[in-house]
Copies of this chain bind each other. A is one copy, B any other.
């Protein structure tokens, strides 16, 4: 009851600015996601591209201010189209001349969002994640916003429901006094081995790092200046002081920023970190196995997720995705069969992390 009362009392100026980080160039979901058409622009778990779903998730103007979307120059048209599709034509684009990972994107967004009011709260949101329970997402973001208002840099930590080895973890510290369901951030934990992950699940106190961060612009910039001053300098130089509407980051200046993740540059170093644990049906959809898991509701009795015209004979727990005519699966199990613009992938779902090797090889990487 106390929590609901607080959430309902959110005032206009408390609304966080969603900063949608849309610069990913993921290769893990080849061939539907390619270098030219990264994952966030693809419909993977339903009929909407993931970016459209992400923008729509924060489209409620009662809860959220107009979003900023940080993306690469080459994708400006596509992002603009998807913002319109999501019903948020007010979105402003922050256009990176070159990808520099999430720390420079976060700092640039903080400089832009906080220009008029440095106490503006920003919520950094990856463009290509799934959230199955939007109400839980809104509730977690409201708690994180309250903690950010109090001067913390807050991350939403996902309560694990399986001993996942594909995610980084965060160890929870003590509950923060005066804040509802917020803990200190004890430390980040690299992707664990299976035994360690099982231990985390059993003993509790560890959540998945979802890459969602909420902070006041001024707090984020203070901490970035302390721990990564070169990023702040590069970003300040890259933003024209009179920028309105979409923001074109200056190529020469922005290229000076080191390419580093916000977690690493700031969150692992700051002593203002906090965590809001949440269960909200979250997935980073980082492999075809994750796509299959997210689409389980569509599966037939044998666990196959496939278009209606698929011929399935003696086959179990398979995923057929992409377009290109009828597929027939005969006596196979746990297989991903994915058709995309660059080709056809056949891979066991439980080895589907290896699909990135295909994209790397096609890109001429060793």
Contact = CB atoms under 8 A, between A and B. Distances in A.
Interface of A: 30-31, 311, 313-314, 324-332, 335, 337, 339, 342-348, 351-352, 354-355, 357-358, 361-362
Contacts of A361: 311, 313
Query: Assembly of this chain: how many copies?
Result: 2
List the 10 closest pairs (A to B, CB-CB), nearest first.
A326-B343, A330-B347, A331-B351, A328-B358, A327-B344, A328-B345, A330-B354, A311-B358, A313-B357, A329-B346
A354 B31 contact: no
A358 B314 CA distance: 11
Contact of A347 (B331, B342, B343): B331
20 contacts: A30-B328, A311-B343, A311-B361, A313-B361, A314-B351, A314-B354, A325-B343, A326-B344, A327-B346, A328-B355, A329-B346, A329-B347, A330-B346, A330-B352, A330-B355, A330-B358, A332-B335, A332-B346, A337-B346, A344-B344
Given A311-B362, A314-B354, A357-B313, A324 B324 contact: yes
Given A327-B346, A328-B343, 9 more contacts: A30-B328, A324-B324, A325-B343, A328-B346, A330-B348, A330-B351, A330-B355, A330-B357, A331-B354
A115 to B, nearest CB: 47
A25 B314 CA distance: 24
A82 B329 CA distance: 33
Contacts of A342: 325-326
A332 B347 contact: yes
Instruction: Pick the most buried of A331, A351, A352: most chain B CB atoms within 10 A of its CB.
Output: A331
A331 B356 CA distance: 13
Contacts of A357: 313, 330
A150 to B, nearest CB: 48
Contacts of A328: 30-31, 343-347, 355, 358
Contacts of A343: 311, 325-328
A332 B358 contact: no
A30 B344 CA distance: 19
Nearest to A346: B329
Nearest to A31: B328
Instruction: Pick the most buried of A328, A339, A346, A361: most chain B CB atoms within 10 A of its CB.
Output: A328
A361 B326 CA distance: 13
Contacts of A331: 347-348, 351, 354
B325 A345 contact: no
Contacts of A351: 314, 330-331
Contacts of A30: 328
Contacts of A362: 311
A333 to B, nearest CB: 10
